[in-house]
A and B are shown apart, each in its own frame.
Chain A
Amino acid sequence: MDLEEAKEFKERCTQCEAVSWGLTDEGKYYCTSCHNVTERSKEVINTDVIPNTQIKTLNRGLKRKNNSEKGWDWYVCEGFQYILYQQAEALKNLGVGPELKNDVLHNLWKRYLQKSKQAYCKNPVYTTRRKPTVLEDNLSHSDWASEPELLSDVNSPFLESGMESQSDVHTRKSFRISKASQSETSVCSGSLDGVEYSQRKEKGIVKMTMPQTLAFCYLSLLWQREAITLSDLLRFVEEDHIPYKNAFQHFPEQMKLYGRDRGIFGTESRPSYDDIYKKTIEVATFLDLPRFPYITEDCYLHPNILCMKYLMEVNLPDEMHSLTCHVVKMTGMGEVDFLTFDPIAKMAKTVKYDVQAVAIIVVVLKLLFLLDDNLEWSLSNLAEKHNEKNKKDKPWFDFRKWYQIMKKAFDEKKQNWEEARAKYLWKSEKPLYYSYVDKPVAYKKREMVVNLQKQFSTLVGSTPTAGKKSPSSFQFNWTEEDTERTCFHGHSLQGVLKEKGQPLLTKNSLYWLSTQKFCRCYCTHVTTYEESNYSLSYQFILNLFSFLLRIKTSLLHEEVSLVEKELFKKKYSVTKKKSKSKKVRRY
């Protein structure tokens, strides 16, 4: 290179103290031993005009900061780290304990970097073609080089000051040395390894994607046994309480994104429950995580507590809770071993806590009312008559009345939700573009859209969507004071239960199974849900609950079938035990 010309520069390098300078194609001095680039330059040549060639040459002479147009050198995993940091912050703001961010997520992420060989290991993927001497040099004075034990590194401050500290202190150091291996990759991405990253297909390595960030969040919530279920998490994402869509737009100004980064960080889809659930297991298995903390009866995720929550949410009588508890007990779904997530187990699977709890409620409703479009209405007639006669007593639960009120509330909610979805704005303030050539076009488009929106915002009603909804785990609110919408929490189930001595015996003695046959094979598909084959009440209840959880109805139907499978299997084997256990509880 231009080593000859650089000889006149005699200062010591600020990083390695060597005096061995070369000239970059841009005319700046760089240290040939540690690749540090100074701000001093031999001559000033403005090469802004041809960005692509400039980037190519810049890569030969490594620099921390090129110029304002190019931005910082950064790696894809740093981007994800930044997003995870923001998501953790958002979770903290939602009331999750700070340990989640500082300990759990931090350690999960470190473990991920290590497992995927991006950092915290002897041969990170980026450093394969790099001079080994430099690596050792760097490793010798880094405190993180020793393999970290999972979740033991309590004292390390995680991302306290965001991008700067974390990336500089931890990961960036390990990457900087590896930058020599970057050849022409930056041509089509803002990040250094964007192109390589999107092409990398290594077996056995879970690549980071945007949905994966949510899997990380959920895993750490699960580890902390926080009172946020997966469906809650996804709903908060949907309502923009947790950064996900266009999370990159909060990157520091100097972290430029374009080209391949667009595919990596851009989001044009909503995360689905199924998908994130699968990814959670995938990540947990990949990270080789140990057994998670036990889910005991006092945990929010325990079906007894979740059932209570969902009973309140959908305005069903509190008395139903004893029935759900009973079903939980009979099916063994409340047992610690069943509930606790153990990724190392042979068939790693975690319970869909929220879906399961809701399925239990559906089963209980079926036990009480059969939901065959017939019995529930005749029981409602009885309840109505009784309530008319005895106005002072605790009213009997009237399914018809409940249905009418819920149907109205549900339809309204759903309508609003659909409208909000149709109005959802996907594009970020920082447009993503493929290359520098597209940049002005992308920015111009953005500007036009903003201008048009500004114009039309004057035509919108006086109260345009009054800000963001504040996050809540409840979507419906039922209070005794509301006269318009009856609250059924205090209603009694007397009308549908047999009275004498055996309080948990329902008047209805029939039952129908949601699924007749289960697949014998190991496929995950249990049954297909064909709406028209089921009673209207059952359809309504499934629709209501799956809307609450933002899941597909078929998923809930499947879970209901699974609960039934457990419930009725047990019945044949341990009949006697059950009859005893049942009498213990009374109303």
Chain B
Amino acid sequence: MSDFSEELKGPVTDDEQVETSVLSGAGMHFPWLQTCIETVAIGGKRKKAFAQTTSACLSFIEEALLKHQWQQAAEYMYSYFQTLEDSDTYKRQAAPEIIWKLGSEILFYHPKSNVETFNTFADRMKNIGIMNYLKISLQHALYLLHHGMLEDAKRNLSEAETWRHGEKTSSREILINLIQAYKGLLQYYTWSKKKRELSELDKDDYAYSAVAQDVFNHSWKTSVNISALIKIPGVWDPFVKSYVEMLEFYGDRDGAQEVLTNYAYDEKFPSNPNAHIYLYNFLKRQKAPRSKLISVLKILYQIVPSHKLMLEFHTLLRKSEKEEHHKLGLEVLFGVLDFAGCTKNITAWKYLAKYLKKTLMGNHLVWVQEEWNSRKNWWPSFHFSYFWAKSDWKEDTALACEKAFVAGLLLGKGCRYFRYILKQDHQILGKKIKRMKRSVKKYSIVNPRL
């Protein structure tokens, strides 16, 4: 026997092992199936090398952007431009938008890029695949705004506004409205600058009338530009705000109120807390009746129960004559303090402490219990733990006192938070704490009075 044949004998047994393992380990494998599926997925055509290159290139760009490697991204972009010449019509048409998005991102951050490069790029991209003209114009203007070039941005928007090509589509109309509104916003900016100048000027100043005239002209233009947009459902906060400011300035209160009411109550518009806030602030300025204010804030309460206006809402409710409003007032306070961001809000605690006492004194124990039932599982550890007692006392004794009072009322005098604060010997607060102790004994919901 040869040496070689000896070594080759090994495999016979080895083979069998391998074979079994292959069979058991491999399961069903259809390598051809995968390619079949892939072929079906791309419409029966094999993915061409060109498509492979561009898609690989795209993922390299995305990776580079993610890692903020602007230079590498630019390198890949160089090659990615060839998608504009893709023979696949669908991809070719989608290319300009992708290129614009990636390219503008790169140019925004690239250290060697500047406004000029960006302008050239934007102007080029606007004219490739005209479908994106308006979108690019708008983003271009925003870029210029970002760099403080207001005049250029304005010029850009005016150009885009007058641009006409092919049929008008609804999506394009919205874009045009948006462009006009941005133009309006810029005009508002100049207007409010002028307004400030005006307020600094003396009425007898010779320049006064000229500036005043200016202010008036601007307002007129702006209202035209913005009003079209804010009729379309959407979130247009800055536009609405500036528009209303100007309407108010010229005394068109009804107009302003109409705009705001529409913005807040039109069901076609997406739910938007700011809409209600604007309306509330406006009504407050107009000294609207309390009931009206309450109805506006009621909606805000449903959307954002933790909003800082809720404390104002509470005050309004407290002052109201209706009993149901008084009950709601308690609900609102509890609601505010449900949020982690409000736990150190001393006003909220103060209101709650006072209002709890008042409610309990007013024999509305049921209201308190109603609110407390859903919270008694988690409020003690959320607000009234021993840890909080210590840290609250250290940071803000007043807050700790208010909280301790609430804790005492809700959890009884055995509550740790309450006990901790009570133990602290504080000269100024001594009296207050004593008073608190008495009230707790008297009103705490834990030991119903005999």
A interface residue numbers (CB < 8 A to B): 268-270, 330, 367, 418-419, 421-427, 431, 442, 445-446, 448-449, 451-453, 455-461, 464, 502, 504-506, 508-513, 516, 528, 530, 532-533, 568, 571, 575-576, 578-579, 582
Contacts and interface: CB of A to CB of B under 8 A. Distances in A.
A505 B79 contact: no
A460 B53 contact: no
A513 B15 CA distance: 7
Contacts of B77: 456
B85 A445 contact: yes
Contact of A511 (B7, B22, B25, B52): B7
A455 B5 contact: no
Contact of A268 (B3, B5, B50, B110): B50
Contacts of B48: 268-269
B355 interface: no
Contacts of B87: 268
Contacts of B5: 571, 575, 578-579
Most chain B CB within a 10 A radius of its CB, from A426, A575, A576: A426
A464 B14 CA distance: 53
A427 B18 contact: no
Given A449-B85, A579-B3, A423 B57 contact: yes
Nearest to B16: A516
A464 B120 contact: no
19 contacts: A270-B49, A330-B4, A422-B56, A426-B50, A445-B84, A448-B124, A449-B84, A452-B84, A452-B103, A455-B120, A458-B112, A505-B3, A505-B4, A511-B11, A512-B18, A516-B15, A533-B21, A533-B25, A575-B1
A576 B82 CA distance: 64
B81 A453 contact: yes
B4 A513 contact: no
A146 B128 CA distance: 57
Contacts of A511: 7-8, 10-11, 14
Interface in B275-327: none
A528 B79 CA distance: 36
Contacts of A509: 6-7, 9-10
B32 to A, nearest CB: 9
Contacts of A449: 81-82, 84-85
Contacts of A578: 2, 4-5
Contacts of B264: none
Interface stretch (B68-76, B265-273, B335-343): B68-76
Nearest to B32: A528
Nearest to A461: B71
A505 B7 contact: yes
Given A425-B79, A448-B128, A513-B15, A508 B74 contact: no
B369 interface: no
A510 B12 CA distance: 9
A575 B2 contact: yes
A571 B57 CA distance: 51
Interface in B73-116: 74-79, 81-82, 84-85, 87, 99, 103, 106-107, 110, 112-113
B117 interface: yes
A498 B50 CA distance: 53
Contacts of B11: 510-513, 568
A511 B99 CA distance: 55
Contacts of B44: none
B7 A460 contact: no
Nearest to B73: A459
B121 interface: yes
Given A508-B7, A509-B10, A451 B124 contact: yes
Contact of B22 (A421, A431, A460, A516): A516
A330 B56 CA distance: 45
Cβ-closest 3 pairs across A and B: A579-B2, A510-B10, A459-B74
Interface residues of B, number: 54
B158 to A, nearest CB: 25
A446 B85 contact: yes
Contact of A422 (B3, B26, B79, B124): B79
Nearest to A516: B19
A446 B76 CA distance: 18
B124 A460 contact: no
B82 A512 contact: no
Contact of B124 (A452, A458, A505): A452
B148 interface: no
Contacts of B74: 456, 459-460
A240 B56 CA distance: 20
Interface in B213-261: none
B31 interface: yes
A528 to B, nearest CB: 5
Contacts of A568: 8, 11
Contacts of B76: 422-423
Contacts of B164: none
Nearest to B92: A445
A422 B53 contact: yes
Nearest to B48: A268
Given A459-B106, A461-B75, A448 B84 contact: yes
Given A510-B14, A533-B25, A579-B3, 9 more contacts: A426-B50, A452-B81, A459-B70, A459-B106, A510-B10, A511-B10, A571-B5, A579-B1, A582-B3
Interface string B151-164: 00000000000000
Given A459-B106, A461-B71, A509-B10, A579 B49 contact: no
Contacts of A582: 2-4
A451 B52 CA distance: 24
B60 to A, nearest CB: 5
B273 to A, nearest CB: 43
B219 to A, nearest CB: 41
B79 A533 contact: no
Nearest to B13: A510
A528 B2 contact: no
B29 interface: yes
Contacts of B8: 511, 568, 571
B81 A516 contact: no
Contacts of B29: 528, 530
Given A451-B124, A575-B5, A422 B57 contact: yes
A452 B120 CA distance: 9
Contact of A459 (B18, B71, B79, B84): B71
Contacts of A512: 11, 14-15, 18
B34 to A, nearest CB: 12
B115 to A, nearest CB: 14
A26 B107 CA distance: 53
A460 B82 contact: no
A571 B25 contact: no
Contacts of B1: 575, 579
A506 B10 CA distance: 13
A455 B117 contact: yes
A516 B16 CA distance: 9
Nearest to A465: B75
Contact of B25 (A424, A464, A502, A532): A532
A423 B78 contact: yes
A431 B85 contact: yes
Contacts of B85: 427, 431, 442, 445-446, 449
Of the candidates B3, B76, B117, B124, the one having the most CB atoms from chain A within 10 angstroms of its own CB is B3
Contacts of B26: 530, 532-533
A530 B25 CA distance: 11
Contact of A533 (B2, B7, B22, B49): B22
Contacts of A422: 53, 56-57, 60, 76, 79
Contacts of B70: 459
B31 A528 contact: yes
Contacts of B56: 418, 421-422
Nearest to A514: B18
A405 to B, nearest CB: 27
Nearest to A510: B10
B7 A453 contact: no
B15 to A, nearest CB: 6
